[in-house]
């Protein structure tokens, strides 16, 4: 699909009914919870996120990655987001929704999202040297703030799959850098690396080993240096064994998966962590539910008959996250 149709018209997120993350994070900080940031690429995921967040009275950050834009077309995604706002109004009391660019890697991409109605963007220059990261993040902040759009920066690199149980130390955010980064860039929130990573294979565990705890010591040190500043955790799927078992039971093959234990995310949500990113868990839920239908009803060929059950299962999972993990349920 790509983005062959350029977003020709500039539109503010305020016209579309989104909010930026400023007030969301203030409330999350004050009340010890984290706002869920769920990724979507298609209609069923979006419906499930909105239904679950309206159902549990939780604010929500709808995340769109570069990959999602390439897959679904950026114009269509933005209109889907707008459609979700309208749907929510019809469902009854709406909840605050931010439309956020996940892992933006260039100024141009961030600008394009801001111009086309995103209320928040992430500029992820975390793999660049500190000075370059600062310069690029600052440039995005200057453009975004003129339009009241909030910006997430990142310091530290999330580990991929490491050979040992724990991520390499060099990937963690260095608390000594955070004050200067926040001051020099003017960013509104900061993604940090304390042991989470993207995907369904976060740790390579030897038999009998359990998932190593997140580096709460680093988080504490960061909080000390930038008190009251909103922190973001990426790579925070729990990779629930129940869904992995379901995937494997119905013909899948996922071995050696591992996620972040929910108690640790709950603990993080009570701190300055105001935004927790979850994508992989949604992918696992959909895959498990679709596989079940395919195995049990091999003659089924109506997408509504397998995407519908997947959507139902997604709603349950997102409501559970809001209520039991992030603590965002009942906050609006």
Q: Which are the catalytic amino acids?
A: 102
Binder to ligand G3H among 33, 37, 38, 39 (CB under 6 A)?
A: 39
The answer to whether 13 and 97 are in contact (CB under 8 A) is no
* Distance (Å, whole) CA 63 – CA 40: 6
Q: Which does 67 bind (CB under 5 to 8 A by kind): ligand G3H, Zn ion, ligand 13P, none?
A: ligand G3H
Give the footprint of ligand G3H on residues 62-81 (CB under 6 A).
65, 67-68
Give the integer Cα–Cα distance in Å for 258 and 199: 9
Give the x/- contact pattern for ligand 13P in 99-128, rule: CB under 6 A: ---xx-------------------------
- Shortest separation between residue 68's beta carbon and ligand G3H, angstroms: 5
Binding ligand 13P by CB under 6 A: which of 199, 213, 261, 309?
199
CB of 101 to ligand 13P, least distance (A): 10
38, exposed or middle or buried, with CB in 10 Å at 0-12, 13-18, 19+?
A: buried
> Half-sphere exposure (CA, 13 Å, Cβ side) for 152?
35
With CA atoms as reference, report the closest residue to 136 among 171, 191, 64, 185: 185
Burial class (CB in 10 A: 0-12, 13-18, 19+), 2: exposed
Nearer Cβ to Zn ion, position 237 or 277?
277
Out of ligand 13P, Zn ion, ligand G3H, none, what residue 275 binds, judged by CB under 5 to 8 A for its kind, is none
Min. distance of Cβ 305 from ligand 13P in angstroms? 27
Among 78, 198, 215, 275, binds ligand G3H (CB under 6 A): 198
Distance CA 196, CA 291 (A): 28
Taking the alpha carbons of 158, 164, 169, 170 in that order, is the dihedral positive or negative?
negative
User: What number of other Cβ atoms are within 10 A of residue 84's Cβ?
Assistant: 26
Residue 202 makes contact with ligand G3H by CB under 6 A: no
Instruction: Specify whether the CB–CB gap between 94 and 88 falls below 8 A.
Output: yes
Binds ligand 13P (CB under 6 A): choice among 235, 257, 274, 328? 235
Other beta carbons less than 10 A from residue 273's beta carbon: 28
The CB-nearest residue to Zn ion is: 234
Residue 279 engages ligand G3H in binding (rule: CB under 6 A): yes
CB of 280 to ligand G3H, least distance (A): 6
Q: Which residues pair with 191 in a beta bridge?
A: 154, 232
- Per-position x/- string for 98-127, each x denoting binding to ligand G3H as judged by CB under 6 A, each - no binding: ----xx------------------------
Q: Which residues bind ligand G3H (CB under 6 A)?
A: 39, 65, 67-68, 102-103, 198, 279
Q: Which residues bind ligand 13P (CB under 6 A)?
A: 39, 102-103, 198-199, 234-237, 277-281
């Amino acid at each position: 699909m790509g983005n062959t149709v350029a977003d020709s018209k500039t539109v503010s997120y305020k016209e579309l009914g989104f909010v930026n993350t400023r007030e969301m994070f203030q409330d999350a900080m004050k009340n010890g919870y984290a706002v869920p940031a769920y990724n979507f690429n298609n209609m069923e995921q979006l419906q499930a996120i909105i239904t679950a967040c309206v159902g549990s009275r939780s604010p929500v950050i709808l995340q769109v990655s570069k990959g999602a834009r390439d897959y679904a077309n950026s114009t269509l995604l933005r209109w889907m987001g707008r459609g979700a706002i309208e749907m929510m109004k019809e469902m009854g009391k709406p909840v605050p929704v931010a439309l956020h660019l996940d892992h933006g890697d260039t100024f141009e991409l961030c600008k394009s999202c801001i111009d086309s109605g995103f209320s928040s963007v992430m500029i992820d220059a975390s793999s660049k040297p500190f000075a370059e990261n600062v310069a690029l993040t600052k440039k995005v902040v200057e453009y975004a703030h003129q339009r009241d759009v909030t910006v997430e920066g990142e310091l530290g690199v999330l580990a991929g799959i490491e050979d040992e149980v724990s991520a390499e130390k060099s990937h963690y955010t260095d608390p000594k850098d955070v004050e200067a980064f926040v001051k020099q860039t003017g960013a509104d929130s900061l993604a940090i690396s304390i042991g989470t990573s993207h995907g369904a294979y976060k740790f390579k565990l030897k038999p009998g080993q359990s998932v190593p705890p997140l580096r709460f010591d680093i988080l504490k040190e960061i909080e000390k240096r930038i008190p009251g500043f909103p922190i973001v955790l990426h790579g925070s799927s729990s990779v629930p064994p129940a869904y992995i078992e379901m995937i494997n039971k119905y013909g899948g093959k996922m071995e050696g998966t591992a996620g972040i234990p929910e108690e640790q995310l709950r603990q993080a949500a009570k701190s300055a962590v105001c935004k927790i990113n979850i994508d992989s868990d949604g992918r696992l839920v959909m895959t498990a539910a679709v596989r079940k239908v395919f195995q049990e009803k091999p003659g089924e060929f109506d997408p509504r008959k397998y995407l519908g059950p997947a959507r139902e299962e997604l709603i349950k999972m997102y409501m559970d996250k809001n209520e039991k993990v992030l603590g965002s349920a009942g906050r609006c």
